[in-house]
């Protein structure tokens, strides 16, 4: 603990944004009436007063609570009255101190203060090195600032007191106010010096950057003046020589505009801009704006079109070669080709491909463009928040440019390209406008024939452009925008499809990228299946492709070594040597039926997942506790399930007053993961009934479905992905809403053969399927025989 020495009673002056340190001489201005009176009182006595920084620099009359706990006792060396009521004061710090008792606050503050000494320290070799480094850094800082502080530097170099060195640096360096306060409050000299040195290094870096920026600005200014002088000389020389270069430029502009065969209004507007440019003085800023505008307009592919391929067989061959599966997308493209053959004037439709990441939405768009012989340009809309990104800026603004649609057309070099609007669901909106609203005109076939970009200002025909949008979800896409697009959903790939994609596309692609031949690297089919099951957990194939690339890199390294093998074969045995420990072990299912533990199914952006629901029933007062990071919709589903149970206690064999005498705790494991949605309603209901009745739940049964308070089982989404998760988990029977029976047709036939489906219209069916009867009491619900269950079909999940 620091030794505290009583110093006595003295006037106190609050400092705004300033800090004075012991043994440092510093001058500042005093203007507040209370501060002036405290200063005058000190001059009447022994010229001693205490300076304490105040916390809020905007507070004109701070109280003791608004002052920092440590200040500095100083001796006033000089006081000079300047213009007005401002007094310039020169003081020298004596020692750190703290206020122990306030004796007076008006008309100025008088307090009893106590001296605070620094902690004792030992001058080690390391501390000596730190002192030397601090002195050198401070000298470099003062040189950068071009301050003459030779006397202070000599005094610092002659001192071996780390506290004095740190206080000197803090007093004269341009640290932030709060940093200076930290150094004032630090009573360990060694730690104070270390902190001051770090702050000084940061300050030197900032000052260096500021000087570089100032030098660059000065150099640019000199360069601009030099260029202006040279341009004026060139202008005078051209005038003397009678050169007509500018007139040739204007004539060239007019000739190019007339060759575009634009509508009368557009051509008239552009020619008027050329006339305005002709009248601008040489080097004027408006002339530069007009030149950029005319160049941008003339770069657009006004009359350039590629001849579209309408050969259906050739197009199908290209699509099948580039992508495995994706039947719906390919069928839709071939339908468009058939329509173009019979009705060439029919404008192309806007297609939106919706699916989880990595399933090939973007790559199929490139294949479609190649199959149709259209130029291709991609517009990434992820994170776009400004309407001007779509429609462009007014050309009067500095740095204005056309919107992304016009820029993509220039990039494609054709007026009938395929434009890919990627990640259309990731757009935002703020005070600068809503980019999704700007897309309404672009994607509307009735309006986009006269699309006007804010920069281009004249109408451009987008009716021949084929737009394909991609999105991971439709939840964030505005309804008016969805109304203009034809939605095609791409589901997750099954493990079998991933294997085929890897064999036919990913492995040949990565072998070529890494300079390998098929004879040099072979990945066995079992190893490929193991990679898919044990190293990836995704809807698409991006992670799978990265793992194949990693194997290729390992193979390259092995083949360039001295004892390189002629051929590398990847098997399940050497897979861990190449890819490391398996990330995902096979999901283990509970072997025994349990009370209050039910397997539910959930959909995520990367596919389906198994969602366990646990319920405990305890003696209590009827509380319902819901845990597991649940959203509002899921909580409401739990309350709906409880309402159904309370209204059917007799049929379910539950005590009628359970809601008064029992506390129910519903928990969803993996509490760090947010969960929401209504599809866990039947799962929660089954778990609560099991816990209240003591009946065990079959572990080979999983379920999904929304529940109503009357016990109806309502339809859900993502059935394809959910059933795949059930199959991975070892489930054999899946209970689904009856309204989702039609969705079973979307599931791959090879997958359906491995699962047994039970369709339920009411919760009774779910309970009969999932709960085991209790032999010791009269069962209220009898388990239905498996051969009488509706919809006796089975499924596996396609990712």
569 Cβ contact list (under 8 Å, min separation 6): 522, 523, 524
**735 falls in which pLDDT band (50, 70, 90)?**
very high
Q: What residues form DSSP beta bridges with 71?
A: 97
Taking only the tens place, the pLDDT of each residue in 580-635 is: 888 877 655 556 888 999 999 988 766 678 888 999 999 988 899 999 999 999 99
Which phi and psi angles does 54 have, rounded to 5°? -95, 150
Question: What does the pLDDT read at residue 73?
Answer: 93
Tell me, what DSSP letter sits at residue 204?
Answer: H
Mean pLDDT, the chain, whole residue set: 84
Q: For the residues of 41-83, what is the DSSP string, one character each?
A: HHHHTTSEEEEEEBS-TT-SS--GGGB-S-EEEEEEEEEEE-S
DSSP letter assigned to residue 504: I
How many residues belong to the chain? 799
* 58-95 per-residue burial string, b: 16 or more CB within 10 A, e: under 16: eeeebeeeebbebbbbbebeebeeeeeeebebebebbb
State residue 432's pLDDT score: 74
DSSP 3-state of 227: helix
- Of 628, 612, 664, 627, nearest in space to 643 by CA: 664
Q: Locate all alpha helices (DSSP H) within 280-396, ordered by sequence.
A: 285-299, 312-322, 327-342, 361-372, 388-391
pLDDT for the residue 789? 31
The DSSP-derived string for 93-151 is: EEEEEEEEEEEE-SSSEEEEEEEEPPPP----HHHHHHHHHHHHHHHHHHHHHT---HH
pTM of structure: 0.58
Is-contact 544 516, C-beta < 8 A? no
Q: Is a pLDDT exceeding 50 seen at residue 4?
A: no
**pLDDT for the residue 245:** 53
**Least confident residue range of 497-511, 705-719, 784-798:** 784-798
**pLDDT score of 587:** 57
What SS3 state is found at 541? coil
Structure tokens that stand for 591 in this block? 């072997």
Predicted confidence (pLDDT) per residue in 543-581, tens digit: 899 999 999 999 999 999 888 888 889 998 888 888 888
Residue 632's H or E segment, with its range, is helix 632-647
- The tally of CA atoms less than 13 A away on the side-chain side of residue 164 is 14
Q: What distance in Å separates the CA atoms of residue 238 and residue 254, rounded to the nearest whole number?
A: 23
Q: How confident is the model at residue 761 (pLDDT cuts 50, 70, 90)?
A: very high
Instruction: Catalogue the long-range contacts made by 476-482 (C-beta closer than 8 Å, 24 or more residues apart).
Output: 476/425, 476/426, 477/424, 477/425, 477/436, 478/436, 478/437, 480/437, 480/440, 481/424, 481/436, 481/439, 481/440, 481/443, 482/352
Residue 381 CA to residue 436 CA, distance in Å, equals: 10
Query: What pLDDT, on the 0 to 100 scale, is given for residue 779?
Result: 39
Pairing assessment for the beta strands 466-471 and 418-422 based on DSSP bridges: parallel
Tens of pLDDT along 494-549? 778 888 889 988 999 999 999 998 889 999 988 898 898 888 878 788 889 999 99
Torsional class of 283: left (φ above 0), alpha (ψ -120 to 50), beta (otherwise): left
Q: Has residue 793 got a pLDDT over 80? A: no
- Catalytic positions are 679, 722
d(CA 684, CA 448): 50
**CB neighbour burial string for 219-230, b if at least 16 within 10 angstroms, e if fewer:** eeeeeeeeeeee
Question: Tell me: the pLDDT tens digits for 76-97?
Answer: 998 888 777 788 999 999 999 9
State yes or no: pLDDT of 5 exceeds 50.
no
What is the pLDDT, as a whole number, of residue 776? 33
How do residues 138-190 score in pLDDT, each as one tens digit?
888 888 887 777 888 888 888 888 988 898 888 888 888 888 888 888 898 88
Nearest to 724 by CA among 754, 700, 680: 754
Band of the pLDDT at 799, cuts 50, 70, 90? very low
| Spatial contact of 639 and 665, defined as CB atoms under 8 Å apart | no
Which pLDDT value is given to residue 781?
36
Yes or no: say if 510 and 552 are a contact pair by the CB < 8 Å rule. yes
pLDDT digits (tens, 9 = 90+) for 18-66: 999 998 888 898 888 888 888 888 888 888 999 999 988 888 888 888 8
479-515 per-residue burial string, b: 16 or more CB within 10 A, e: under 16: eebbebbeebebbbbbbebbbebbeebbbeebbeebe
- Residue-level pLDDT at 786: 32
Token representation of residue 13: 């002056």
pLDDT digits (tens, 9 = 90+) for 232-288: 777 677 666 654 555 577 888 888 888 888 888 888 999 998 888 887 776 778 888
pLDDT at 642: 92
Cβ proximity of 682 and 763 under 8 Å: yes
Contact 117, 177 (CB under 8 A): no
pLDDT at 8: 79
Q: What is the mean pLDDT of residues 217-232?
A: 76
The burial of 40, by beta-carbon neighbours within 10 Å (0-12 exposed, 13-18 middle, 19 or more buried), is given as middle
- The partner residues of 568 in beta bridges, in order of sequence, read 521
pLDDT band at 639 (very low <50, low <70, confident <90, very high): very high
pLDDT band at 785 (very low <50, low <70, confident <90, very high): very low
pLDDT of residue 714: 93
Q: What does the pLDDT read at residue 791?
A: 33
Instruction: Locate 551 and state its tokens.
Output: 């194997």
The mean pLDDT value for 482-503 works out to 84
Q: What mean pLDDT is predicted for residues 759-774?
A: 90
């Amino acid at each position: 603990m620091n030794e505290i020495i009583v110093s006595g009673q003295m006037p106190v002056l609050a400092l705004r944004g300033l800090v004075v340190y012991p043994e440092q001489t510093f001058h500042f201005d005093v203007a507040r009436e209370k501060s002036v009176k405290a200063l005058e009182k000190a001059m009447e006595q022994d010229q001693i007063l205490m300076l304490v920084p105040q916390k809020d620099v905007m507070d004109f009359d701070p109280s003791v609570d608004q002052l920092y706990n440590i200040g500095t006792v100083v001796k006033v060396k000089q006081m000079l009255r300047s213009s007005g009521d401002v007094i310039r004061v020169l003081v020298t710090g004596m020692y750190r101190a703290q206020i122990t008792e306030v004796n007076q606050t008006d008309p100025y503050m008088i307090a009893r203060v106590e001296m605070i000494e620094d902690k004792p320290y030992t001058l080690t070799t390391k501390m000596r090195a730190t002192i030397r480094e601090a002195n050198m850094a401070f000298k470099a800082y003062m040189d950068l600032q071009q301050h003459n502080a030779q006397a202070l530097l000599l005094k610092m170099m002659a001192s071996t007191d780390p506290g004095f060195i740190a206080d000197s640096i803090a007093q004269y360096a341009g640290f932030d106010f709060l940093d200076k306060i930290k150094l004032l409050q630090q009573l360990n000299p060694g730690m104070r010096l270390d902190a001051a040195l770090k702050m000084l290094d940061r300050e030197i870096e900032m000052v260096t950057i500021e000087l570089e920026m100032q030098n660059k600005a000065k150099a640019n200014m000199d360069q601009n003046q030099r260029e202006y002088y040279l341009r004026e000389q060139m202008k005078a020389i051209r005038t003397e020589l009678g050169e007509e270069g500018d007139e040739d430029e204007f004539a060239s502009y007019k000739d190019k505009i007339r060759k575009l065969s634009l509508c009368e209004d557009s051509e008239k507007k552009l020619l008027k801009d050329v006339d305005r440019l002709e009248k601008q003085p040489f080097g004027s800023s408006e002339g530069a704006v007009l030149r950029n505008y005319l160049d941008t307009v003339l770069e657009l592919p006004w009359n350039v079109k590629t001849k579209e391929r309408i050969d259906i067989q050739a197009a199908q061959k290209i699509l099948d070669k580039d992508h495995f599966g994706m039947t719906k997308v390919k069928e839709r493209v071939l339908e468009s080709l058939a329509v173009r053959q019979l009705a060439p004037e029919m404008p192309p439709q806007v297609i939106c491909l919706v699916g989880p990441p990595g399933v090939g939405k973007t790559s199929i768009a490139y294949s479609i463009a190649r199959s149709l012989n259209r130029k291709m340009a991609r517009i990434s809309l992820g994170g776009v928040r400004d309407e001007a990104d779509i429609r462009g800026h007014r050309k009067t603004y500095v740095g204005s440019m056309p919107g992304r649609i016009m820029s993509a057309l220039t990039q494609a070099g054709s007026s009938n390209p395929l434009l890919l609007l990627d990640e259309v669901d990731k757009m935002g909106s703020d005070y600068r406008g809503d980019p999704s609203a700007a897309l309404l005109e672009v994607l509307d076939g009735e309006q986009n024939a006269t699309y006007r970009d804010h920069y281009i200002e004249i109408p451009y025909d987008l009716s021949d452009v084929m737009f394909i949008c991609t999105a991971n979800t439709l939840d964030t896409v505005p309804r008016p925008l969805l109304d203009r697009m034809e939605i095609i959903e791409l589901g997750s790939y099954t493990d079998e499809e991933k294997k085929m994609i890897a064999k036919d596309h990913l492995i040949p692609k990565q072998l070529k990228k890494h300079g390998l031949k098929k004879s040099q690297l072979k990945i066995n089919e079992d190893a490929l299946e193991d990679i898919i099951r044990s190293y990836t957990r995704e809807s698409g194939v991006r992670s799978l492709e990265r793992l194949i690339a990693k194997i290729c890199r390992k193979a390259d390294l092995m083949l360039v070594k001295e004892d390189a093998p002629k051929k590398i074969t990847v098997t399940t045995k050497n897979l861990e040597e190449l890819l490391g420990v398996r990330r995902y072990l096979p999901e283990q299912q509970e072997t025994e039926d349990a009370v209050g533990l039910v397997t539910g199914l959930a959909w995520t952006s990367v596919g389906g997942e198994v969602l366990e629901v646990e319920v405990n029933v305890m003696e209590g007062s009827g509380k319902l506790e819901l845990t597991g990071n649940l959203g509002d919709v899921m909580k409401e589903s739990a309350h709906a399930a409880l309402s159904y149970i309370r209204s059917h206690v007799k049929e379910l064999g539950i005590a009628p007053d359970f809601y008064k005498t029992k506390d129910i705790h519903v928990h969803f494991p993996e509490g760090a993961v947010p969960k929401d949605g209504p599809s866990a309603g039947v799962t929660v209901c089954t778990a609560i009934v099991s816990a209240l009745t003591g009946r065990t739940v079959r572990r080979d049964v999983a379920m999904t479905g929304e529940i109503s308070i009357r016990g109806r089982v309502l339809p859900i989404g993502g059935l394809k992905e959910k059933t795949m998760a059930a199959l991975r988990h070892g489930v054999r029977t899946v209970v689904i809403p009856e309204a989702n029976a039609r969705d079973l047709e979307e599931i791959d036939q090879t997958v359906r053969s491995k699962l047994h489906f039970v369709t339920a219209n009411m919760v009774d069916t779910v309970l009969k399927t999932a709960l085991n009867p209790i032999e010791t009491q009269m069962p209220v619900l009898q388990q239905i025989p498996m051969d009488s269950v509706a919809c006796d079909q089975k499924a596996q999940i396609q990712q």
